[in-house]
């Protein structure tokens, strides 16, 4: 009996030794499974934040360097957009929002070309005249306490994530419901022939027989004034297929003026911000305020050009011969434009052959390409006495890498001809 008890005790002691020797290994396996999983989740959450940060920041890099030095406001807007969107993401198993400890302004860096990470410049080092086209966001989470591995002496861990984005041609896109008429020199193969960057285009909105642009219905034969108004006050019409998609003519719709004017910081009736954000500036350009009728975007005149007005958040100034009916209209001031402004007056529009509308039945024409235009001034509201023509400024093909226009949609391939949209490249 004593011998059996002794053997049992020895066996129990051996098991205890084996368990003690195996415990670190078991903890190590548990740590590999759970602690590494924890780190992977944290990194995935940071990656979501950096992706969002880079995409939002690249959306603001719409400066056209051919029009002159790029202002620092483009970089400032990019940093602010990146931080704002990143802060909507969560970390630590979605328990807390991204903060400046994970992504700070100094973690958003820029480059003129797609280059090694070390060549990207932090926003604090930027100077006027820097035409950045690539933005890199980096996020870091420090002090992650291991659940099991700390027993083995493993200390707090750090994970990081990084993303780079730029503007690239879209497969599908968002555009405002307005068609730019090709000029007589234009052809289906080259619908932009004869158009000069900076050129002003006069509307057909008040005189249907003449003019260079008109309303567009992207979904013929449906649509109507309410649909077009929602598109103007919102993001536009998105997921528009590439050329040669057939679109319809809407003709003169004077009631769309209130929706159009939200982009200038004018709000009347049911229109409000949010959801209808204004541009960064409401400064207006008409043949009265800009007699040359050319390059209000970056040219010289008796009033600040668009780039200067946008950098200073200048509000609508009046004295432009528009004869606006201002009754019941709320007009945003510079403080309000700075706080809630967005890129709303540089818009993407399809180019079409307007001369083919009258001969077609039903009245549809194919999209020939996409152009970038600057919306120059508000429209007189319904009820005004005189309705002057509306003007747009042509800013080039929307697919031009130097285009100041950007939009939303699906990223296309190397041969895509849609407008420029934010695209992740790393």
Cα–Cα distance, 210 to 208 (Å, whole number): 6
pLDDT of residue 33: 65
CA distance 221 to 313: 40
Please tell me the predicted confidence (pLDDT) of residue 199: 94
pLDDT of amino acid 301:
92
Low-confidence ranges of the chain (pLDDT < 50): 4, 128, 207-209, 384-385
* Neighbour tally for 119: CB within 10 Å: 14
Question: Which residues, 6+ apart, have CB-to-CB distance to 46 below 8 Å?
Answer: 91, 102, 139, 140, 141, 159, 160, 161
CB 294 within 8 A of CB 279: no
Closest to 310 in 3D by CA, of 280, 284, 266: 280
Residues of the chain by 3-state class (helix, strand, coil), percent to 5 = 30, 25, 50
Distances (CA, A) of 186 to 191, 211, 353: 4, 15, 9
H helical segments located in 31-145: 36-58, 72-86
Rounded CA-CA distance 270/9 in Å is 86
Positive or negative, the CA dihedral 116, 122, 125, 127 is positive
Output the six-digit token pair for 253.
Answer: 């719709």
pLDDT of residue 16: 61
CA-CA distances (angstroms) from residue 167 to 57, 164, 195, 349, 368? 10, 11, 23, 17, 22
CB-based contact 57:110 (threshold 8 Å): no
Q: What is the pLDDT of residue 237?
A: 75
């Amino acid at each position: 009996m004593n011998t059996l008890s002794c053997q049992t005790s020895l066996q129990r002691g051996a098991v205890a030794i084996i368990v003690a020797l195996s415990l670190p290994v078991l903890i190590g396996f548990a740590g590999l499974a759970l602690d590494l999983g924890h780190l992977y989740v944290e990194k995935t959450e940071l990656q979501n934040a950096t992706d969002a940060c880079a995409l939002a920041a690249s959306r603001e890099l719409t400066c056209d360097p051919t029009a002159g030095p790029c202002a620092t406001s483009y970089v400032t807007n990019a940093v602010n957009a990146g931080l704002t969107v990143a802060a909507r993401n969560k970390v630590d198993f979605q328990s807390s929002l991204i903060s400046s400890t994970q992504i700070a302004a100094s973690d958003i860096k820029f480059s003129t070309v797609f280059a090694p990470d070390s060549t990207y410049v932090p926003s604090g080092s930027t100077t006027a005249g820097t035409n950045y086209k690539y933005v890199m966001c980096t996020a870091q989470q420090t002090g992650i306490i291991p659940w099991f591995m700390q027993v083995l002496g493993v200390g707090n861990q750090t994970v990081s994530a990084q993303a780079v984005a730029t503007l690239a041609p879209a497969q599908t896109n968002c555009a405002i419901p307005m068609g730019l008429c090709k000029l007589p020199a234009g052809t289906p193969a080259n619908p932009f022939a004869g158009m000069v960057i900076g050129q002003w285009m006069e509307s057909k909105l008040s005189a249907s027989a003449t003019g260079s642009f008109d309303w567009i219905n992207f979904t013929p034969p449906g649509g109507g004034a309410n649909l077009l108004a929602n598109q103007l006050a919102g993001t536009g019409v998105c997921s528009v297929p590439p050329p040669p998609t057939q679109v319809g003519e809407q003709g003169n719709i004077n009631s769309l003026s209130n929706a159009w004017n939200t982009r200038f910081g004018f709000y009347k009736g049911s229109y409000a911000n949010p959801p209808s954000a204004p541009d960064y500036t409401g400064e207006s350009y008409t043949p009265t305020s800009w007699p040359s009728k050319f390059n209000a975007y970056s040219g010289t005149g008796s009033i600040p050009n668009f780039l200067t007005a946008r950098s200073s958040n200048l509000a609508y100034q009046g004295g432009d011969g528009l004869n606006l009916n201002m009754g019941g209209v709320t007009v945003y001031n510079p403080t309000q434009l700075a706080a809630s402004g967005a890129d709303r007056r540089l818009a993407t529009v399809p180019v079409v052959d307007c001369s083919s509308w009258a001969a077609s039945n039903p009245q549809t024409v194919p999209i020939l390409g996409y152009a970038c235009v600057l919306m120059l001034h508000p429209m007189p509201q319904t009820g005004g006495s005189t309705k002057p023509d509306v003007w747009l400024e042509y800013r080039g093909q929307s697919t031009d890498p130097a285009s100041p226009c950007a939009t939303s949609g699906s990223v296309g391939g190397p041969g895509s001809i849609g407008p420029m949209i934010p695209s992740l490249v790393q």
